[in-house]
Amino acid sequence: MIGRGRILALSVFVAACGLGLPNTASAYGPGEGQGSQQSTSTSGNSNGKGTISATAGGVVYATSDNGSGPSVGPVTSTTTWTPPACYYAPKYTPAALKAHLEPIWNAESTGSQWDLQQRNTYQDGGKEPGTYKDFNKDKTGKGYWWDSYVTKGREGDPGALDCTKPIFWVDKGDPPPADAKNAVTPEILAELAYNEIRVPGTHPTLAPAGTTKVNLPTWAWLDATAFKPVSVTASVPALGISATTTAEPVSLTIDPGTPDAQTYPASGVCDFHNGRIGEPYAKGKANQTPPCGVKYLHSSGNGAYPLKATLTWKIHWTGTGTPGKRLPDGTFGATQNITVQEIQSINH
């Protein structure tokens, strides 16, 4: 029996060299190589109005409402939960599965026993349970061959190897087999969309900016227009299901980078009020306590304190047949250096 890793390597080689497939999708399963134009999905596209879609196997992501720009990044779950590292989704029509498997068999590098078993399962079977005749061509248009995929960015995750079920057929309208872990559903789509969420970098405006004084309150606030809800929609056109995952900013946590500091409020957590976090500093507020900010109690000497600002995002989703559910909150932060100087006094 040949190892699945060797099968994967050969599948990728055949797809790239033997079949000459362009725009091969970046997400692929541990068992059967990469999605491509053989797949039931299409490649990335734009409608010219800023609506951009990207594909990963049978799943299509609409990202026009996602965060954009050079400072954006993925959120990190505030719990131990993570989106699935692998999942099952439609990948092949009968003709596409034939085009995928026959070059592998013809290469004669996977072993005659494995080739015979595969041919009996997908080409020459049909009489025994779990076997099929001629790649199920008589069911063309009535279902799809499903296969495993690895979630983008999770290729090195041990969980990426959990989806080991061989390629299997599912009739349209039927549920996938119970033993197909993480078979795509609206909920799985919502979790995959969570993995695609991108939020803006958290660099609050500070006053004073960059350099401040010991015992001088530093005001912090965020531009509300830059921190608005973002969302990603994941769908499987072949199945007619979708889910939209939305992230909304709820609070900013300030870590001064030293215990010798006082945060405002004392918890260091600044909540959203009236669509914004914090309050811009204005002339005449020097003696007021900032609703969001920090006061350093000691000089940073010849260096600087790494002030980290982390934004927490409330994440929820809606999907086909589902009015709405929560997912774990996510966080994304950034660090900026703050120089703190002693207040110089003049003695007469």
- What is the pLDDT at residue 9? 34
Q: Is residue 130 within 8 Å of 168, Cβ to Cβ?
A: no
The helices-and-strands tally (H runs, E runs) of the chain is 4, 22
Q: Is residue 338 within 8 Å of 257, Cβ to Cβ?
A: yes
Mean per-residue pLDDT for 192-206?
A: 92
Q: Where are any strands of DSSP class E within 58-133?
A: 59-62, 73-74, 76-77, 86-92
pLDDT in tens, 256-300: 999 999 999 999 999 988 778 999 999 888 788 999 999 999 999
**Cis amide linkage into residue 265, ω under 30° from 0:** yes
Which pLDDT band holds residue 69 (cuts at 50, 70, 90)?
confident
User: Percent of the chain beyond pLDDT 70?
Assistant: 82
β-bridge pairing 305-319 and 261-264: unpaired
pLDDT in tens, 82-129: 999 999 999 999 999 999 999 999 998 888 899 999 999 999 998 888
Mean per-residue pLDDT for 70-81?
A: 94
The dihedral through the CA atoms of 141, 51, 276, 83 has a sign that is: positive
Asked if pLDDT for residue 216 goes beyond 70, the answer is yes
- Nearest CA to 236 out of 176, 177, 181 is that of 176
- Nearest-5° Cα angle at 142, 141 to 147: 90
pLDDT in tens, 321-334: 988 899 999 999 99
Q: Is residue 184 within 8 Å of 50, Cβ to Cβ?
A: no
- What is the pLDDT at residue 101? 95
β-bridge pairing 59-62 and 230-236: antiparallel
pLDDT in tens, 125-164: 988 888 999 999 999 999 999 999 999 999 999 999 999 9
- What is the pLDDT at residue 345? 55
- What is the pLDDT at residue 73? 93
Q: Is residue 136 within 8 Å of 93, Cβ to Cβ?
A: no
Task: Report the alpha-carbon distance of residue 15 to residue 2 in Å, rounded.
Answer: 19
Task: Report the alpha-carbon distance of residue 321 to residue 39 in Å, rounded.
Answer: 26
- What is the pLDDT at residue 320? 95
- What is the pLDDT at residue 44? 42
Question: Residue by residue, what is the 3-state secondary structure of 235-281?
Answer: EECCCCEEEEEEEEEEEEEEECCCCCEEEECCCCEEEEECCEEECCC
Q: How far apart are the first and last CA of the chain?
A: 91
Q: How many CA atoms lie within 13 A of 313 on its CB side?
A: 30
Q: Which residue has the tokens 């531009």?
A: 223
Alpha carbon 265 to its chain centroid, in Å, reads 32
What pTM was computed for the model? 0.81
Token code pair at residue 91: 């990948």
- Burial class of residue 266 in the structure, from the number of CB atoms within 10 Å of its CB (0-12 exposed, 13-18 middle, 19+ buried): exposed
